[in-house]
Amino acid sequence: MTFDTYETLALACLVLLLGYFLVKRVKLLSNFNIPEPVVGGFIVAIVLTVVHEIWGLSFSFDSNLQRTMMLVFFSSIGLSANFARLIKGGKPLVMFLVVAAMLIAIQDTVGIFGSMALGLDPAYGLIAGSVTLTGGHGTGAAWAETLTNDFGISGAMELAMACATFGLVFGGIIGGPVARFLLTRLHKEEVPEDENVDDVQEVFEKPVYRRKVNSRAIIETISMMAVCLLVGQFLDELAKGTAFQLPTFVWCLFTGVILRNTLTLVFKFTAPDQTIDVLGTVGLSIFLAIALMSLKLWELAGLALPVFVILTLQVVVMATFAILVTYRVMGSDYDAVVLSAGHCGFGLGATPTAVANMQAVTAHFGHSHKAFLIVPMVGAFFIDLLNASLLKFFVEVAAYFH
C-alpha cells in the first residue's frame, strides 16, 4: 500500500497524537524523556511489522514530505546558532566543544572497529557511533539515508532509530550514577531545600524570548527556512563529486548559521528564536513520525546482537570518558560534575536528557550556572555542526575498510 502526501501527513499527525497520549500517561516514558514521535512511531512500526508477517503487506509513505521536514529541522538548528552566545560562553564553552569533539572521534572509532571485529560492515559502526548517539534520532535518520546510498547497507534507518532510542534511555540512566561517583571525590553534601535557589535571570530551559510567536514571526521564519532549503540544495548539487560533498541537510544547516548571524550582526535583525524553535520542533516531529512509520523492523533480525554489543561498549566508554576526561578538563569542581552528567545525556541521547540529568544533580546539591549555560548551548546548537564535520572524515575511514 502506498500513501500520498496528504495521507502520509495525516497518518504522521495521528502517530504524534498517539505518542503525546502515551508519554503523558506512562511515567516511565516521561521520566526517560522519550520523544513522542519515537513512542508513537515504534508502536505503529511494530503493528505494521505484524501485519507484514501475517498477511505479507508492505506500506510505503511519501519520502519527499519526510525529506522536506528533515531539512526544515536542520535549517532551524542553523538559524538558532547565535555567535553572540558562543562569545558569552567564553573559554569554558570552547573547552567543552573540544571535549565533545573528542567523544565523537572515540565513538566513531569504537563503532567502526567494533563492527569490523563482529563481522559487520563498518558503516553499521558509524550508525552505532556518533551518528545516533551524539547525533540523536534526527541526525541518525538523516545519515542513515546517506550511508545506505554510499555503502549499500540494508536496514540502516531501522537500526538508526533503535540505536538512538537505546542511547536516549541509557544517557538518562548513567548520568546520575556518574555524578554520584564524582561527588564522592568532592565530598559534596546535599544543599538544604531553602538554600537551593537558582537566581539566574535567563537560563536555557526557561529562556526569555524577546519576540513572541505571531503571524509576522512565522512568515519571517518560513522565509529564512525557505532560503536555507533553496541554497542548501544548490550547494549540495554544486559540491557533488568534489571533496566538499556532504549530505544536503548539512548544507541547509550551514546556510542557516550564516544567514542568521549575517542578519543579526550586519542588519541588526532580531531573530524570532521562539518561532524558529517551534517550527523546527514541528519539522522534526513530523519527520520522525514518518521515518518511524516506514521502519521495516524485520530487516534488523541479523544485526540485533552484534549492534547491542557495540552499544553496550559505547555506554561504558561514555561513562568512563565523562569521569576521566570531561570532569578533569572542565575543572574537577562541582560545575564539572554537573557538566559531566549533562555530557552523558547528550553524548548518548539528546539535549533534553542532558538537562534532566543536570536538574537531577542540582536539585540536591545546588545550582550550576556554568553548566546550564554551556551544555544546552553545545547540545542544541553547535554539536550538529561539529558532528557533521567529523563524520565526513569517519565516513572516509569506513569507506576505506568497506
pLDDT confidence tier of residue 225, bands split at 50, 70 and 90: very high
Whether the predicted pLDDT of 204 surpasses 90: no
Helix (H, G, I), strand (E, B) or coil at 179: helix
**Widest CA span in the chain:** 62
Range from 212-216, 293-297, 300-304, 339-343 carrying the lowest mean pLDDT: 300-304
Whether the predicted pLDDT of 85 surpasses 80: no
Long-range own/partner contacts, residues 204-211 (CB < 8 A, 24 or more apart): 204/355, 204/372, 204/373, 204/376, 204/377, 204/380, 205/355, 205/359, 205/372, 205/376, 207/273, 207/274, 209/273, 209/274, 210/270, 210/273, 211/270, 211/271, 211/272, 211/273, 211/274, 211/275
CB of 73 closer than 8 Å to CB of 280: yes
Residues 47, 51, 53, 59, Cα dihedral to 10°: -90
Selected residue with higher pLDDT from 138 and 163: 163
- What is the pLDDT averaged over residues 247-270? 88
Residues 121, 123, 128, 133, Cα dihedral to 10°: 170
Provide the CB-side half-sphere exposure for 245 (13 A, CA).
9
Percentage of the chain with pLDDT > 70? 90
114: burial class by Cβ within 10 Å (0-12, 13-18, 19+)? buried
Angle between helices 273-293 and 136-151 (to 10 degrees): 50
Give the model's pLDDT for residue 165: 81
Residues 226, 80, 343, 206, Cα dihedral to 10°: -130
* Cell (9 digits) for 25: 500517561
Helix (H, G, I), strand (E, B) or coil at 206: strand
pLDDT confidence tier of residue 201, bands split at 50, 70 and 90: very low
From 284, 229, 236, select the one nearest 252 (Cα to Cα): 229
CB of 37 closer than 8 Å to CB of 288: yes
Instruction: Give the type of residue at 228.
Output: C
**Measured distance CA(30)–CA(32) in Å, rounded:** 5
Whether the predicted pLDDT of 224 surpasses 50: yes
**Measured distance CA(351)–CA(35) in Å, rounded:** 12
- What pTM value is reported for the model? 0.72
Selected residue with higher pLDDT from 366 and 311: 311
First vs last Cα of the chain: how many Å apart?
A: 35
Whether the predicted pLDDT of 192 surpasses 60: no
Angle at 107 between CA 105 and CA 112, to 5 degrees: 95
Average pLDDT, the chain: 84
Q: What is the pLDDT of residues 103-161, one digit of tens each?
A: 999 999 999 999 999 988 899 999 999 999 998 887 888 888 888 888 888 788 888 88
pLDDT confidence tier of residue 302, bands split at 50, 70 and 90: low
47: burial class by Cβ within 10 Å (0-12, 13-18, 19+)? exposed
**Three-state secondary structure of 53-120:** HHHCCCCECCHHHHHHHHHHHHHHHHHHCCHHHHHHHHHHHHHHHHHHHHHHHHHHHHHHHHHHHCCC
217: burial class by Cβ within 10 Å (0-12, 13-18, 19+)? buried
**Measured distance CA(287)–CA(65) in Å, rounded:** 8
DSSP string, 297-330: GGGGTTTHHHHHHHHHHHHHHHHHHIIIIIHHHT
Selected residue with higher pLDDT from 40 and 303: 40
Whether the predicted pLDDT of 370 surpasses 70: yes
